Amino acid sequence: MKKTIAGLLASLMVVAALSGCGVSGNGSSGGNSAASSSSGSEKHTLAMSVPLTGTMMQYGTSYRNGAELAVADFNAAGGINGEDVVLAVYDDKGDQKEAINVANIIIENDDIFAVIGSYGSSVSMAAAPVYQEAGMPMISPNTSHPDYPDIGDMMIPMSCKSEVVFGEVGRTLAEEFGPCKMAVIYQNTDVGITTLEAVKEGFEGAGGTVCTTETFVPNQTKDYTPLLSSIKQTDPDILFMVAEYNDGASITLQAQQLGMDDVQLVGVGNLFKQEFLNLTGDKADGMLLMGISRIYTDEVMENSDFGAYTEDIVKRYNEKYASGGVAFDNFAAIAYDSAMVAMNAAKNAGTNDTQALVAQIKKLDIDLCAGQAYFAENGDLIREIFTFTVEDGKFVMK
């Protein structure tokens, strides 16, 4: 009995090893074959390094779906001179070492012309030097780590640095609410810290005061009452949250429970999802959401004009992916844009000269469904800032 189990296990591992080695660039989807024959000089494969397992699985899935749709649309519109683009998705588990392994697989595949990845700055920063070294353009949908563009010219962030966005947000808040007290509760990640610094500078520069800050480690606890009680003691007028949507929802609910009804809640980027409202119910009413992300719920789409291009994409994405999954959100939007930008640049500038490819990508001269964006003189990405609020348990654009 034991020998048969051992034998089965060994043969399973051998089969896995053989299949893994044989198909070293796996998970292709969208479009038809034609990928491995890198005939001529045009490359046709767009790679993605995203977490498909692990704690960040939901975001990786949104990225993959967004990019899949983009690749399907692009191929339907003719592809690169008639040839289809193939999407090769790799799972990096949201882990740094995995991302580096994936990066090494990707740079060896001659047919890949660009890579979209990953979710989370610590993972992207770890893999970036590998791509830079190999001259592979890396488009990162949400890395806002300040050192990321400095790694090299192959790095293309699709998300703004915190100082660019949140200084402005802080100033706007000070102007709208007058010189008042703000408390900041932020997650202890690169996003949290850079956002805190930027908001603080903007807010205090325009006359407000940041009376207290509290930090937490994301995914370690659901109980924010000690932090909120400390904040309540300082009697702030605004409570600024930098958190993922699940922590943000817990903070919102617990703030209400503690009786902080008169404090204006302000949240940023990652809360811009329907899942956030699913968790808070109607307790988030009156909350302000400011950032570079947009919300694509039905109510917002009905009442605002994002343009026919965006509306069409949202509709088709929801038809294909929303049931049993997550509806179109900003993560999928930026992934869609990243893929489209890469593919269009490949079509226009060719894939042989990576410098030209990167320059073409950075022009961002196509329609973007996540909102207007452009690269400034100093290399920073600039995006418009959107403000949303919540009324009757639904998002409303301001």
Q: Is 108 in the site for another protein (CB under 8 A)?
A: yes
Query: Which range binds another protein by CB under 8 A, 219-227, 303-311, 352-360, 373-381?
Result: 219-227
Nearer to another protein, 159 or 250 (CB): 250
Residues 313-352 that bind another protein (CB under 8 A): 324-326
Residues 279-308 that bind another protein (CB under 8 A): 279, 281
37, two tokens: 């024959």
Among 180, 206, 258, 385, binds another protein (CB under 8 A): 258
Residues 145-204 that bind another protein (CB under 8 A): 145-147, 150-151, 188-190, 192-194
Nearer to another protein, 145 or 347 (CB): 145
Among 73, 168, 201, 214, binds another protein (CB under 8 A): 214
Q: Which amino acid is at 339?
A: A
Q: Is 221 in the site for another protein (CB under 8 A)?
A: yes
Q: Is 359 in the site for another protein (CB under 8 A)?
A: no
- Nearest distance in Å: CB 374, another protein: 26
Nearer to another protein, 43 or 145 (CB): 145
217, two tokens: 């480690």
Query: Which range binds another protein by CB under 8 A, 2-10, 161-169, 262-270, 359-367?
Result: 2-10
Q: Is 226 in the site for another protein (CB under 8 A)?
A: yes
- Nearest distance in Å: CB 141, another protein: 18
Nearer to another protein, 18 or 76 (CB): 18
Q: Is 393 in the site for another protein (CB under 8 A)?
A: no
Query: 203 pairs with which residues across the strands?
Result: none
Helices (H), ranges, 25-78 = 57-76
Phi, psi of 254 (to 5 degrees): -75, -30
Nearer to another protein, 58 or 338 (CB): 58
Q: Identify the CA nearest to 296 among candidates 280, 279, 277, 311.
A: 311
Among 37, 41, 220, 378, binds another protein (CB under 8 A): 220
Q: Starting from the edge strand earliest in sequence, which strands make up the sheet with 394-397, in order?
A: 209-216, 181-187, 238-242, 264-267, 288-291, 386-391, 394-397
What is the C-alpha to C-alpha distance for residues 360 and 341, in angstroms, rounded to an integer? 9
Half-sphere exposure of 197 (CA within 13 A, CB side): 11
Q: Is 222 in the site for another protein (CB under 8 A)?
A: yes
Residues 16-55 that bind another protein (CB under 8 A): 16-17, 19-21, 23-24, 26-27, 52-55
Query: Which range binds another protein by CB under 8 A, 93-101, 263-271, 301-309, 342-350?
Result: 93-101
Question: 10 Å Cβ neighbour count for 138?
Answer: 29
Q: Is residue 192 within 8 Å of residue 226, measured between CB atoms?
A: no
Q: Is residue 236 within 8 Å of residue 211, measured between CB atoms?
A: yes
Q: How many residues does the chain have?
A: 398
Residues 6+ apart with CB under 8 A from 117: 47, 48, 49, 50, 92, 99, 102, 123, 124, 127, 138, 139, 140
Q: Is residue 286 within 8 Å of residue 390, measured between CB atoms?
A: yes
Residues 121-150 that bind another protein (CB under 8 A): 122, 125-126, 128-129, 145-147, 150
What is the C-alpha to C-alpha distance for residues 109 and 207, in angstroms, rounded to an integer? 54
